[in-house]
Amino acid sequence: MTPAPPLALTMGEPAGVGPEIIAAAWRALKDGGRPFAVVGDAALMRAQGVPVQAITAPADAGQAFPRAVPVLDSPLPAPVTPGRPEAANAGAVADWIEQAVSLALAGEVAGLVTAPIAKAPLYAAGFRFPGHTEFIAELTADAPFPGVRGPVMMLTAKDLRACLVTIHSPLAEVPELVTAERVMRTARVVHESMKRDFGIARPRLALAALNPHAGEGGALGLEEIEVLAPAAAALRNEGIAITDPLPADTLFHDEARAGYDAVLCLYHDQALIPVKTLDFWGGVNATLGLPVVRTSPDHGTGFDIAGKGVARADSVIAAIRLAGEMARARAG
């Protein structure tokens, strides 16, 4: 029986916590976890105090994984000082992501897990995307995909899957951005992903309201009446099981979460607060609606603690496990 392809794990910002949490993840998963191949700098990986084996192809990762971190070596052009990003290394960071995506599209890896990147040095080097999600969407734009294409950002913690209709938008702009079209497209992507990536035959979606008390019949806002409820009704006519807009303050307790498989949240903090309350250290960011499986730890580069040996690997370990589960579901 041919072993399943490994995952690709991009190293992220080399001056951040990425290299050390990858080393910690390997220590936690080397005895029985799904193998991954690091796309990055082998010398920097060795500096984390773990054994490293440079490999030339992802297929070699499985054999190496129990005894060393397999690395598809792509050396950095400049030295790394923890906590101090170097603009000269930004091109390599982007190249690592591009290489991992290419491997996923070619079927050589089952999916990718991306360690955190720093935007400022990337922007200084000419990077023109808001972040990982948009860059990966662009890299996969021409690849065939059987369904409604994303990207849609999903944050997970324990049994909560919170999917965002808007992401990094100022709160003052959110009401204009929450259109019926955007809500419906997000719901279609999530509905299909629940089936394709999570093996849920009949997904149940919840829709969070924008206003307190779901608008209180229009007294506290009209978005629920004019935008959200009509969008939900149209989605149900398409065969998608989704609730009418529900007050967000009652959507996330244990009993409520048992009633849905994923919830559509309308703005950043509506999703992130419950996710980080449920599991501050172990939350995962997953991208839905792309031809490749992609997950990421739900935290940043941690420049203030990089190199100090205190960064926790809970989130990247959870991201690796989730990527493996999604890849298995896609493989059938």
Task: Report the length, in residues, of the chain.
Answer: 332
**Residue 1 has what pLDDT?**
62
Angstrom distance (rounded) from CA 302 to CA 194: 31
Both tokens assigned to 303: 């420049």
Contact 194, 188 (CB under 8 A): no
- List per-block mean pLDDT (blocks of 10 residues) for the chain, which spans 332 residues: 89 98 98 94 98 98 97 98 96 97 98 96 90 94 95 97 95 97 98 98 98 96 98 98 98 97 98 97 97 97 96 98 97 90
* DSSP summary character for residue 219: T
Among residues 221, 146, 222, 219, the alpha carbon closest in space to that of 189 is found at 146
- What is the C-alpha separation between 272 and 291, in angstroms, rounded? 25
* Residue 326 structure tokens: 């999604």
Cα distances (angstroms) measured from residue 292 to each of 10, 18, 137, 196: 14, 21, 9, 12
Q: What one-character-per-residue DSSP string does 41-106 give?
A: -HHHHHTTTS-EEEESSGGGHHHHTTTSEEEEE---SS--BTTB--GGGHHHHHHHHHHHHHHHHT
Q: How far apart are CA 204 and CA 194, in angstroms?
A: 9
151 preceded by cis ω (within 30°)?
yes
Q: What is the pLDDT of residue 130?
A: 87
Q: What angle do CA 206, 156, 100 make, to 5 degrees?
A: 125
The pLDDT, as a whole number, for residue 33 is 84
> What's the predicted TM-score (pTM) here?
0.96
Place of tokens 């690592």: 96
Cβ neighbours around 238 below 10 Å, total: 11
User: What pLDDT is attached to residue 3?
Assistant: 80
